[in-house]
Each structure stands twice: as structure tokens, then as C-alpha cells.
């Protein structure tokens, strides 16, 4: 009974802090005492020692949870996730990815209870971001884990790419780690459950959010974030591999998913769908964006208006290509650009790794310089008039800061998060805040494009 009581105290402490759902169960912390439990005297001396040690840990853990302040305990939980990373490293890359998404979908990951540093807050497209650090598309392709991922403390999460019709993507294996280089090569090819499945999930999420707002005890309480919860939700749209009308695919995505999105992304830059990158040409991109904008604008919208429309571009573009894209973005008043997707190049030191011979897009640290140079160039070409999201190779607060100084208003992670896990998120935010304060900036927006002035 003593063991059961200690477990119950610890479980109740978790519930009180909101770190465990009442419907959840934690192994060893059941809410009822076991039937036919044998008496302590039944065990051998070794068994009694083991039982005593376990009881001591349970009681000490319960005491710790009950007395430590919430911020300290939250930090401990995030740090504890580092212990799991080696186990993920032993798995196949795609299996590990699926397991991570499943864990986030079931809210098995820690939830960030600490407020973000005020210096990281900003407003873009009329939407308030508590911090500029987001999760890039490709991690949660089918919107299975939005709540769990936003709960980690990301300022925004982008799901997708979502295709109109379900498709399996390219044959496996299609994800390859380059651990020493902090990189990944993938050729997934828009594996997607399709817009219907994603719409159902996002619709349920949106309904839950509205219900929570309606049942809030404080009518004057201002809810930060967007349509999915405490953070901003982006939806990345793709085209089917066999589709002959790319514009129709993107338009279908807009009609079905835009009502659930705080912003939309036209992905024309994945290297793993044949012919997709050709849509980045001046004429092709202009025609595509005009059709997608028209589809979005013809829908009925409330006071907040339609979701912003962005285009995600490749890092493997010439100066002429960038000039064409900038001209289209300015002429059509595009709401933003994401710079950049994965690269088909193999910069040092990846080029000497045997895995570099695999086809697909390279992400991670080796992409940082290439994508940052493209970011800086695009900021100059658009004269700072269009919000840019810096993506590619970010693994620290200094990296995020470099992207911001190069013209990014927001930044996104993926590969570094896959390697570093949840503990990386508060680390990057804290380092970024320190960088801004160190250089005398009062806010993120003051630092945007500082290296381009």
C-alpha cells in the first residue's frame, strides 16, 4: 500500500502541473492498488533491497515534483529528452521519424510551460508570434501532431507537403543520415495521405480550439497564436507526381485547407518530384501564383481576411532565377518567401561521404551557407518589402540570428530538431535572445536584414 500511495502522489503531482492527461497512464503509476499484492516479507533480501530502492526513488521523485517550481521542472523534462536521442539513432531514419511523430501526436513529449523572452515576440501578417522559431514542413506531413509540436514551444509549425490525392512517394529506403555532418539526404517524393485526411485532422483541431475559447472562464482573455492553438499553423501544399495540371492541384489544396491555416505555402522547390522546380521560372511562377491567389481570394473570409500566401524556393538557383522570382513576388504582392528547400548539391564536407552518392535533397548544417547567401540576395532584391522565412542548416541560436541579420523575419528548423530533439528548442530561443540583447537590439524586427544595410 505504501508503494501504491507514493505512486499516486507522484501521479497527482504530474496531473496538477498539467504534464500528464487524466486519461493517460504511466507505467508503474496506476491509479488503483494491485490486487493480491504479496507482502514485503515474501521477498528475498535482494528483493527487499530493490523494493526499498524503488520506493525511495518514487518518494524522492514525488517530493521533487511537489516542491520544485514549474519552470525548473519544465527545464528538467526538456533536458531529460536528451537521454532518448541515442535510441532513435539506432533506428532506421524513417522508422525513427515515424516514431517521433507518433510520440508528438500522443502528447508524450514535454510541454513548454515557460513564457518566451519578450524580446522574441513579433507580429507578421497581422498574426502574433511568441517567438520566431518554427518547425519546417516535412516533419509532420499529415498534420498528425500539431498540438504536441506547438506544445514544445515552437512559435509556429508548418505541416505538409500535402498533395490532393494520397500517394506513397518514392520507394524505400529514401532517408539517409550523415550524422557526422549533421545532415540528411531524403528523396521521399511528397508521401502524403492527401488533403481529405489532413482536412479532417485540422478541422477537429480547429473545432477543439474554438470550443476551448468559448468555454474560457475569462471573457476578456486574449488568446495568442492562431487557428490551431498557442502557435501559428502553416500548411504547405504540393502537387501529385502524376498530375499534369500543377495549378489545379494547388488550387484544390487552397479550397480544402486554407480555412484551417494561418498561412499557406506553394512548394515548387522539392527536388524529388520530377519537373516541380521548373515552376520557379518567371512565367510559370507568375501564372501559378495568380491562379492560386484568385482561388484563395474568391472564398468567403471573415474580418481577419484570407491566409497569407508564400512560395518556397530552392537554394540551387542562379542570380537570374532569383531576380525573376523577386520580380514576380513584388509584382503580385506575394505575402512571403521561404528560403530555402533542400539542395541537390553536395558541399564540403558532405561530398567525401559515401552516402553523398544517394540522390535526393540535402538538408542540415552543410546547407547553411548556401541557403543564407540566397536569403541575403533575395532580401536585397525584394528591398526588404516581403517577409522572408530563413530555413536551412539552423542548429543554434547563433545560426538563427545569422539568418535574421541576413533578412529573415522568421526561421525554421528540421534536421537539427531530428538530431537534437525537444531540448534544442528552448536552447535556440535562449541563445537567440542573448544574441539580440548582446548587440543592443530591442526586438527581432530591429535586427532583420542588419547585415544587408
Please list the active-site residues: 270
The beta-strand segments (E) located in 386-452 are: 388-391, 410-413
CA dihedral 90, 92, 93, 99 (to 10 degrees): -80
Record the cell numbers describing residue 429, joined without a space.
530561443
Record the cell numbers describing residue 367, joined without a space.
546547407
Q: Do the beta carbons of residue 93 and residue 175 sit within 8 Å?
A: yes
Residues linked to residue 267 through DSSP beta bridges, in sequence order: 312
Q: Whole-angstrom Cα distance, residue 211 to residue 204?
A: 11
Q: Do the beta carbons of residue 140 and residue 159 sit within 8 Å?
A: yes
Q: Whole-angstrom Cα distance, residue 265 to residue 236?
A: 5
Distances (CA, A) of 333 to 62, 382, 411: 56, 11, 21
Report the Cα–Cα distance between both ends of the chain, in Å, rounded.
Answer: 69
> What is the DSSP pairing of strand 122-124 with strand 127-129?
antiparallel
Residue with cell 516581403: 386
Record the cell numbers describing residue 159, joined without a space.
505541416
- Sheet of 183-186, strands arranged across: 175-178, 183-186, 361-364
Q: Whole-angstrom Cα distance, residue 400 to residue 411?
A: 6
Please calculate the CA angle 362-133-370 and round it to the nearest 5 degrees: 30
Amino acid at each position: 500500500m505504501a508503494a501504491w500511495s507514493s505512486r499516486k502522489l507522484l501521479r497527482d503531482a504530474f496531473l496538477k502541473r498539467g504534464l500528464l492527461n487524466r486519461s493517460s497512464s504511466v507505467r508503474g503509476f496506476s491509479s488503483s492498488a494491485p490486487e493480491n499484492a504479496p507482502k514485503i516479507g515474501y521477498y528475498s533480501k535482494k528483493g527487499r533491497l530493490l523494493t526499498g530502492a524503488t520506493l525511495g526513488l518514487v518518494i524522492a521523485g514525488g517530493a521533487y515534483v511537489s516542491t520544485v517550481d514549474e519552470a525548473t521542472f519544465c527545464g528538467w523534462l526538456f533536458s531529460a529528452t536528451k537521454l532518448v536521442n541515442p535510441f532513435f539513432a539506432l533506428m532506421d531514419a524513417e522508422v525513427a521519424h515515424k516514431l517521433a511523430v507518433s510520440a508528438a501526436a500522443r502528447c508524450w513529449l514535454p510541454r513548454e510551460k515557460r513564457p518566451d523572452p519578450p524580446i522574441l515576440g513579433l507580429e507578421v501578417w497581422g498574426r502574433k508570434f511568441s517567438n520566431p522559431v518554427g518547425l519546417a514542413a516535412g516533419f509532420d506531413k499529415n498534420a498528425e501532431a500539431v498540438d504536441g509540436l506547438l506544445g514544445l514551444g515552437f512559435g509556429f509549425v508548418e505541416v505538409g507537403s500535402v498533395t490532393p490525392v494520397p500517394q506513397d512517394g518514392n520507394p524505400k529506403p529514401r532517408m539517409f543520415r550523415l550524422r557526422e555532418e549533421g545532415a540528411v539526404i531524403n528523396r521521399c517524393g511528397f508521401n502524403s495521405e492527401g488533403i481529405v485526411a489532413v482536412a479532417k485532422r485540422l478541422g477537429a483541431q480547429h473545432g477543439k480550439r474554438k470550443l476551448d475559447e468559448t468555454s474560457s472562464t475569462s471573457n476578456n482573455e486574449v488568446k495568442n497564436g492562431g487557428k490551431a492553438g498557442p502557435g501559428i499553423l502553416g500548411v504547405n501544399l504540393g502537387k501529385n507526381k502524376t498530375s499534369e495540371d500543377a495549378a489545379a492541384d494547388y488550387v484544390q489544396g487552397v479550397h480544402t485547407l486554407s480555412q484551417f491555416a494561418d498561412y499557406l505555402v506553394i512548394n515548387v522547390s522539392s527536388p524529388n518530384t520530377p519537373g516541380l522546380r521548373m515552376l520557379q521560372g518567371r512565367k510559370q511562377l507568375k501564372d501559378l501564383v495568380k491562379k492560386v491567389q484568385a482561388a484563395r481570394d474568391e472564398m468567403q473570409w471573415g474580418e481577419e481576411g484570407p491566409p497569407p500566401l508564400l512560395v518556397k524556393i530552392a537554394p540551387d538557383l542562379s542570380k537570374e532565377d532569383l531576380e525573376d522570382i523577386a520580380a514576380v513576388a513584388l509584382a503580385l504582392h506575394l505575402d512571403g518567401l521561404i528560403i530555402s528547400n533542400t539542395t541537390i548539391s553536395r558541399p564540403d564536407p558532405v561530398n567525401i561521404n559515401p552516402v553523398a552518392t544517394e540522390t535526393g535533397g540535402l538538408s542540415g548544417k552543410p546547407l547553411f551557407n548556401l541557403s543564407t547567401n540566397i536569403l541575403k540576395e533575395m532580401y536585397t532584391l525584394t528591398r526588404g518589402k516581403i517577409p522572408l522565412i530563413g530555413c536551412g542548416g539552423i542548429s543554434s541560436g547563433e545560426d538563427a540570428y545569422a539568418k535574421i541579420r541576413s533578412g529573415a523575419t522568421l526561421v525554421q528548423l528540421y534536421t537539427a530538431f531530428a538530431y537534437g530533439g525537444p531540448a534544442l528548442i528552448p536552447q535556440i530561443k535562449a541563445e537567440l535572445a542573448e544574441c539580440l540583447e548582446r548587440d543592443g537590439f530591442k526586438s527581432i524586427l530591429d535586427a532583420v536584414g542588419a547585415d544587408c544595410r
